[in-house]
Structures are given as structure tokens and as C-alpha cells.
Amino acid sequence: MNRQFQRLIVAAAAALVFGAAHGQSGMRPEVGKPLQAAEALIKGGKFREALAKVREADAVGGKSASENLMVERMRLAAASGAGDADTAAKAFETVGASAGGADKLRMIESIAGSYYRAKEYAKAQQWYARYFREGGTNSANRTLMIQTQYLSGDLAGASKELMAEIQAAERNGATPAEDRINLLMNAAVRQKDVASEAFALERLVMYYPKKEYWVSLLSRLQRKPNFSDRLSLDTYRLSLATGSMTAANDYSEMAQLALQAGSGAEAKQVIDKGFAAGVLGTGPEAERHKRLRDLVNKRIEEAKKTAAEDEKQALAAKDGNDLVTIGMNQVYEGKKAQGLQLMQQGIAKGGLKRPEDAKLHLAIAQLVAGENGKAQATLKTVSGADGTSDLARLWALYARRAKAS
């Protein structure tokens, strides 16, 4: 038993049993003396020896109601300290009604703790729940109650309590504890509760944006049946932005997709970051990485020769598709204001093949340009049942965190 719990038991005993100078009136010596000895043993931390003294007092015949009450009070304190939760619980049913509010809560708390340490989690959960029904407010006990629900297999109950706890923290402007969110996620996974798992993962990246959380969340997103392969580049963009991209193949694939999307400047940034991080240009694929870098540089030089004419034609076109593409590339080139203006012109012109993709790309470009607030506003307008709105929501989580940091 830890010292904190032992102090709790001693305090409970002091509140529940008669002291050496009090309560002796009407108590026969054959009952009072062993109880007095039990009290001293409890204060010395010798709980099992105290239980033996309680049994000695209990064996006296013809006890009065008050003597029986004192026996059970002492039994409760000694049994709690000894970790004999069943005996303590039985004694409580006799003495609980006569105890004051604070004393009663301490008794319930000690019984719940005894069951918890004995790994009788279902019983511990019942007593922690009783603690709160009786008016208890200790947040540490609520944490223990949720853990007992989880450990006893009441995953639905644990999930409900954890969800309420996390949402309450958010309403109060507090940051939910990481271990509580993780516990919710684990409970959700075990129940195959997809919605709660997503809720937990999104909170983890919002409040504790570790690489492994982003990897899990993005992987989960891409496994959704309705998620379109078309969004691979935008997913890679978020992976790179969150620092969760580590594989050489991912850098290479992203650079190639950026080239195909008409964003050569972005492709060059990806390649340069891969080489700077030591991910590209090493190992058995080093030569292929260098050839890809050369290809990207070649395409950029070729694009420069026709850039003015391409923009002119895009402005004259009936639809805004090319304006969105050219504008995004210009943002990655560093022409942020000009590029964003072209993208917005393209969206306003209309005739877009995929309007929701265009809004998502505008928001990403706004983030690249440092216009975080505008990006968050744009992301709120993105819809689509093919994964576009899901991805926009994750970009919004990143945007809020980026702004906070």
C-alpha cells in the first residue's frame, strides 16, 4: 500500500471510530479494549492485526446496537487498510447511513481503491460510480472510475465518460489530457467505433501534433472506401507540412505528382527537402533520385519559356482551370500575392472540372503564403463525398495548430 492511501485510511479511522478519550460511555470493556487496540494498530499501519482485534470484539455476545456499530466502523477502517475490500464493503452497509457526508465519501473512496488495487475492476467501478452518486467531486476518482470501466471491459461506458470529459475540457478552454484521448482511441479501436476513433485521433493531432499521430490519421483517411486516389498529392502535402513524411518513395512520388499537376516549383521544393534531410540521394535508389531532380529542374526551365504566354491564354480561357493551376505554382515560386489572385480569379470564372478541389488548393496556397486566417475560412467552404471535405477538415486542424504555435 502506498503512503498516501495509508494516510487516507488513518484519517478515515480517526473520523469513524471513537477516540481514546471519547465514546467510551456505555461500551463494555470486553468490547472497548480490543477496539481500542485495533485503533492503535490501524494508526501504526498494522491493518491485519487490527482486523484480528476487531474479530475479538465482535465475538463478545450480547452486544448493544451502539457496540455493533463501533465494531463495524473499526472493521471498515481495518479492512480497507488491509485491502480486504469485500469485508470493508460489507461493513460499510452497516455504518454508512450513520456517517456524515465527508466521512461517508472517504469510506466509499477507500473501498473503491481497495477493489482497484485488487484488480477487481468491475466492483471498483461500481464503488467509484457510487462515490459520485453520493456527491463526490474528486477528479482523480473520476479518472480511476473510467480506468476501471476500461479495464473491466465496459468500453462503451468508458468511451461515454471520456468523450464527455474531453468535450467539457474544450468547452472550458482547457487542453484535454493526452492519456485520456489515447484511452478513448484505444476503447474505440477495440469496439470498432470508427466515429470515436476519428474524434480521438483528430484531438491528438490538434493538441499533441506528434508525427506518429499524423501518420495514423492520414493512413486512416486513405483507407476510407470513398477516398479518391486523386487526392494523393494533397495528402502528401499535408504529410510534408506536418513533418510526418519520412520515406524516400513518398518524397519521390510527391515530386512526380506535383510535376503532373503543373506545380514544378513545388516539385523542386519537395526534392530539395528530401535531399537536405538525407532521405533522397542515398542508398540503392540514389541515382534515380538524382535523375528525378534533373527532370524537375529541366521542366522548370522549359516552363519559364512559355510562362507569360500560358498565363495570357489562361486569362482568356472560358474556364478557370488553368488559372488555378498556374496561380498555385506561382505561390510555390514565391510570387504569393500574384499567385493567390490568379487562383481566386480562376475560381470566380467558374467552369472548373473539380470546384471543391480548387477551393482546397486555394486554402493550401493561402497557408503556404502565410494567410492562415483566410485559409481556415476557405477550408470551411470545401465539401465533397469523395474525401475532399475529410481532407479539408484535417488541413483545418493543421491550420489551427499552426496559428496557435
Best CA proximity match to 323, nearest among 351, 337, 344, 309: 344
User: In the structure grid, which three cell numbers stand for residue 363, read together?
Assistant: 486554402
User: In the structure grid, which three cell numbers stand for residue 67, read together?
Assistant: 457496540
d(CA 399, CA 385): 22
Q: Considering Cα of 14, then 19, then 24, then 30, what sign does the dihedral take?
A: positive
3-state secondary structure of 25: coil
Which parts of 136-210 fold into alpha helices (H)?
139-151, 155-171, 178-191, 194-207
**Whole-number pLDDT of residue 368:** 97
d(CA 175, CA 178): 9
- Decide: 201 and 216 in contact? Cβ < 8 Å: yes
* Tally of CA atoms within 13 A in the half-sphere of 138 that contains its CB: 15
Q: Considering Cα of 33, then 35, then 38, then 42, what sign does the dihedral take?
A: negative
- Decide: 123 and 85 in contact? Cβ < 8 Å: yes
Q: Report pTM.
A: 0.78
Which domains does the chain possess? Answer: 3-153 (1.25.40.10), 209-404 (no CATH)
**Whole-number pLDDT of residue 19:** 42
d(CA 360, CA 358): 5
**Whole-number pLDDT of residue 5:** 52
Q: How would you write the pLDDT of the chain (405 residues) with one tens digit per residue?
A: 445 554 555 555 445 554 433 444 568 899 999 999 999 999 888 999 999 999 999 999 998 888 888 898 889 888 888 888 888 888 888 777 666 678 788 888 888 888 898 899 999 999 999 999 999 999 899 999 999 999 999 999 999 999 999 999 999 999 999 999 999 999 999 999 989 999 999 999 999 999 999 999 999 999 999 999 999 999 999 999 999 999 999 999 999 999 999 999 999 999 999 999 999 999 999 999 999 999 999 999 999 999 999 999 999 999 999 999 999 999 999 999 999 999 999 999 999 999 999 999 999 999 999 999 999 999 999 999 999 999 999 999 999 876 655
**Whole-number pLDDT of residue 21:** 33
